[in-house]
Chain A
Amino acid sequence: MSFGQLPYDVAHLFGGAMLLLSFMLLYQRRVTAVINGLAIQGAILACAAGWQGWVQGAPQLYLTALIALAAKAVLIPLALRVLIRRLAMDRTVDTAMGIGPSLIAGVALVALAILVVLPITAGVRAIAREDLALALSVVLLGMLMMITRRNAILQVVGLMSMENGLILAAVGVAGMPLVVELSTAALVMVVLVVAGVFVFQIRERFDSVDVSLLDPHRGEGR
């Protein structure tokens, strides 16, 4: 299986689309648009998992796809929207680093991911190599998003996007047991609940979800 064959091309297409959506998450200026981007990324992840399930003949990946679709594309974005509505918060994105520089940094990270993954995985099946490079890029971009945004909700979005990258890497490798994906999915749900509670608490205390307001209060209660 190599370039020019259908399974490879489609898998590559889905991975590329996820990477593109990661960049979209980076340059969006409105919070609702960012959440939409996350939902679309989750849906594409579900497609990628389903496709891999069909190509590898691994029925458990359909279950992964189903979970991804339900959780990533529907439930989590819905929950985030409810959160925003309940908090009636400011809809614009407050960035710590300008949009332009963060996009440049993102491009550099993708180049780094490709430089790292391609030489290491020489000799592995081509589909796994490309997929790994794309997945690592998505993970790095998610992390970049976490550190370049001040808003707690957007940091949660960055975390979810990072997790999407991890799942993408996991489904691309043949023979990954289902339990890994199930436990990761469960973990993400727990993280979302904790993050939601956390955001509500910040909101109640400080009337804002800007995490930099927390800094002067560290070490309290000791």
Chain B
Amino acid sequence: MLTGLLLCILLLGLLALAAVGLGRHPLAGRVVHGGCLAISLGFAGLALAGLGLGLPEAPLALPIGLPGAGAASLLALDGLSAWFLLLLGVTGACASLYALGAPAGPPRSLPPFPLFLAGMAICLAAADAFTLLLGFELMSLASWALVAADHAEAENRAAARRYLMFAALAGACLVPAFGLLAAGAGGLDFTALRAAPPEGWRAAAVLALALAGAGAKAGLVPLHAWLPLAHPAAPSHVSALMSGAMTKVALYVLARLLLDLCGPLQPAWWGVPLLAAGACSALFGALRANMEGDTKVLLACSTIENIGFITVALGLVLAFRGADLGPLAALAAGAALLHALNHGVFKTLLFLVAGAVAHGAGSRKLDRLGGLIHAMPVTALAALVGMAAAASLPPLSGFASEWLLLEALLAGWRVGDIGFQVVAAAATALVAMAAALAAAAMLRCFGLVFLGRIRSPRAAGAEEVPRLERLSLLLPAGLTVLLGLFPAAMLGLAAPAIAVLAGPAALPPARGLALTAGEGASTYLPLAVAGLLVASLVTVWFLVRRRSTGATLRGPVWNCGFIDPPPWLPFGDPLSQPGAAGMAQPLRRMLGGSLLGATETVLMRAPGDPRPGHYAAQAADPSEAGLLAPLARLRDSVAGRAERLRELTIRGCLGLSFGTLVGLLALLAWLEGG
């Protein structure tokens, strides 16, 4: 099985080489994306086989690695990595299928795509710190190349630059985190690291570095500033993969570091930072998703929210495990894993929908779309499924995992510490609020894009996307429905992963086809809910049919008080239906002022002044002003100081290196002597 995995990774490398070789050949895109599709399906198949039939025991040693004895690179597949590999396979297959059908991008965007997939697979399959970081950095660099693929526009270049900075930050935090672990263990492979869990300040440093490093890559507040920029800059299938799979790989690294490698004996307060960061991210992302006017930015903010949910669940696992509450830890672990998979699938779907809308209707701006359900019915159906899942409506997939998460949060009082109980209660409120805000954001997005009247001439000329692209939308949509109907079966598959996170004795929180929480006090039967919904819909339909006169009458639709458009304005007056900013207004006034610094300016002209009045609403991300701007100032001042080194004479330059050498030698002598 590991040999197959290695073969897939090598094939991805060959595909990248082939993409370089094929260059501008007309079939290059088909070859590369077709190959990626097949290999992604291979990943999913391997992961399913591993989870269902049993995982390989011994790791596979590779003939590469750091110099020195016992530092060979190892590949292995345990429950946790197999689960995330399944997610990677599914999202990678959907994204590759979409890329096969979509219009081809520039040739320079082809080679990094297989490398991106390969980096994530290496990171997931690694069984030692070096290989994991190698895959992580390959993933970062390849996705940077994809974000920067369309570099003709200045804003894309800025997005790519910021993305690279955050990727560098993630690497700069994760390398010392693994270094601190390895310093105590004396080896880099996971078995050695697990055998020597860190203690004291070293453990706290590992926690902080892992949270900062993985959080920067996953998009946890306050390190989320790259997501709303990088996702619109990348091609749609890439942003689907980045949001669906890459952020999950970062969370995998977080879970691997904190829940697996640091050993099972860490104290319960370790969950609190994760809980706090996750709850803030969830609320912040959901609120910002309500304000944005660009579909992809909106979806990126929704990703921040869902990453927050998963982080909250991981924090709960840490807390429950530290308090010796095994079944509750398993419940939270099930919530984290299931939500990671569900979110990966439905967010991939939604980004592909955004790409299909941009392809079919020519825009990503909510204010330039509208009424697309008539022109693009299949896309609208797929979007409806995805957005209903993102709004956590039963019986779709988002509901199942968020139900588990809220049940786990509501059990937070079982940890005896009063401080933790308060934190858990606050997190419950924030997460519930974020879920409601997310539903509002999805409703707004679907309503503005697919319902209502057409807002621009280009949207009036919208066409349904080609067949292959439609297929790539229907595949994740179908998976979303299936995952929503059979979450218990998926949790059964996830049992090895839950055992890694919550301890070897943990059982998945499912019984039969139902999800159970606690000691079976509450149960969620998705099939029953779906049956109830279908039955009530069928009843209503029958009643209407029975009661109606039988003849179908078509009359003018009640148009909410709009005036019918005059013949010279075929789309109606755009001002006569709510726009993106208008629908955001209530939430902006309620919450935006304090959290997002939202301001409104109204310019009223004096009576008799013929010039038009003006209304403007702005919202700014506080992380820009609070975190990035001071950092940019610091960078400028450091660069200014470093610039003075250029003024040194030749002897000064030589003296500088000589002084450094002597200083290092003195340090060495001091360390040896002491």
- Mark A residues whose CB is within 8 Å of B: 96, 109, 112-113, 115-116, 119-120, 140, 143-144, 146-147, 150, 211-212, 214-215, 218
Contact = CB atoms under 8 A, between A and B. Distances in A.
Label chain A's interface by main secondary structure.
Answer: helix
Contacts of B668: 116, 120
Nearest to B654: A147
A212 B651 contact: yes
Given A96-B651, A146-B658, A147-B658, 11 more contacts: A112-B665, A116-B665, A119-B673, A120-B672, A140-B662, A144-B658, A150-B651, A211-B649, A215-B649, A215-B650, A218-B646
B666 A112 contact: yes
B21 interface: no
A218 B662 CA distance: 27
Interface string B630-668: 000000000000000010011100110010011001101
6 contacts: A109-B662, A119-B673, A143-B661, A146-B654, A147-B654, A147-B655
Nearest to A144: B658
Given A147-B651, A212-B651, A214-B650, A116 B658 contact: no
B70 to A, nearest CB: 22
Contacts of B650: 211-212, 214-215
Contacts of A120: 668, 672
Count chain B CB atoms within 10 A of each CB in A115, A150, A212 and give the residue with the most.
A115
B661 A211 contact: no
B606 interface: no
A112 to B, nearest CB: 6
Count chain B CB atoms within 10 A of each CB in A116, A144, A150, A215 and give the residue with the most.
A116
Contacts of B666: 112
Contact of B672 (A109, A116, A212): A116
Nearest to B656: A147
9 interchain residue pairs of minimum CB distance: A119-B672, A115-B669, A116-B669, A147-B655, A147-B654, A215-B649, A116-B665, A143-B658, A147-B651
A140 B658 CA distance: 8
Nearest to A150: B651
B651 A211 contact: yes
A218 B652 CA distance: 14
Contacts, number: 42
A37 B666 CA distance: 29
Label chain B's interface by main secondary structure.
Answer: helix
B663 to A, nearest CB: 10
A119 B669 contact: yes
Count chain B CB atoms within 10 A of each CB in A113, A147, A214 and give the residue with the most.
A147
Interface footprint category on B: 10 to 19
A141 to B, nearest CB: 11
B364 to A, nearest CB: 42
A140 B655 CA distance: 12
Contacts of A119: 669, 672-673
Contacts of B655: 147
Contacts of B651: 96, 147, 150, 211-212
A159 to B, nearest CB: 10
Contacts of A144: 658
A150 to B, nearest CB: 8
Contact of A115 (B649, B654, B658, B673): B673
B383 to A, nearest CB: 54
A112 B649 contact: no
A38 B668 CA distance: 30
Contacts of A212: 649-651
A146 to B, nearest CB: 6
A146 B659 CA distance: 13
Nearest to A120: B672
A139 to B, nearest CB: 9
Nearest to B659: A147
A5 B218 CA distance: 66
Interface string B108-139: 00000000000000000000000000000000
A143 B654 contact: yes
Contacts of A112: 662, 665-666, 669
Contacts of B658: 143-144, 146-147
A10 to B, nearest CB: 28
Count chain A CB atoms within 10 A of each CB in B646, B665, B666 and give the residue with the most.
B665
Nearest to A105: B662
Nearest to B671: A119
Count chain A CB atoms within 10 A of each CB in B646, B651, B661, B666 and give the residue with the most.
B651
Contacts of A215: 649-650
A108 B154 CA distance: 56
A214 B650 CA distance: 8
Contacts of A116: 665, 668-669, 672
A115 B666 CA distance: 8
Contacts of A150: 651
B654 A113 contact: no
Contact of A113 (B665, B672, B673): B665
Contacts of B672: 115-116, 119-120
Contacts of B654: 143, 146-147
Contacts of A96: 651
Interface in B162-208: none
Contacts of A146: 654, 658
